[in-house]
């Protein structure tokens, strides 16, 4: 089971996006779990649960460099969610992008 974790300021709007992404994954019988968390728990969640992809909400894109420096060497793909897809709550497109990033990371490993 792959774990795609989203992080944002408070986890509220990202929770709605994560729920939509989970519906898409379930509809296509993909072995993926999607969850959302506030960015303050980023280190704790990554250290304890090691997701397969880290997606940052547009409102915390400033954390990208720090997150890449801290976790990029572990092979976990890290990305900022496209603000247009985030605003439209386009869970399918965000999930497709995350899956592509995971495949690319696996191929590079």
Supply the range of the domain harboring residue 10.
Answer: 2-108
Split into its structural domains, the chain has a count of: 1
**What is the CATH number for 68?**
3.40.50.2300
For each of the chain's 109 residues, which pLDDT tens digit applies?
999 999 998 767 899 999 999 999 999 999 999 999 999 998 899 889 999 999 999 999 999 999 999 888 878 999 999 999 999 999 999 999 999 999 998 887 7
- Tell me how far apart the alpha carbons of residues 34 and 16 are, in angstroms, rounded to a whole number: 11
Establish whether 107 is a catalytic residue: no
Q: Which of 8, 18, 25, 55 is catalytic?
A: 8
Rounded CA Rg of the chain: 13
């Amino acid at each position: 089971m792959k774990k795609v974790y989203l992080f944002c300021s408070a986890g509220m709007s990202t929770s709605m996006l994560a729920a939509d992404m989970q519906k898409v994954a379930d509809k296509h019988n993909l072995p993926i779990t999607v969850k959302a968390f506030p960015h303050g728990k980023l280190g704790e969640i990554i250290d304890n649960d090691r997701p397969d992809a880290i997606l940052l909400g547009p409102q915390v894109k400033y954390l990208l460099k720090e997150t890449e420096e801290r976790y990029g060497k572990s092979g976990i793909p890290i990305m900022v969610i496209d603000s247009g897809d985030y605003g439209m709550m386009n869970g399918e497109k965000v999930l497709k992008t995350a899956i592509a990033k995971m495949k690319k990371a696996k191929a590079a490993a």
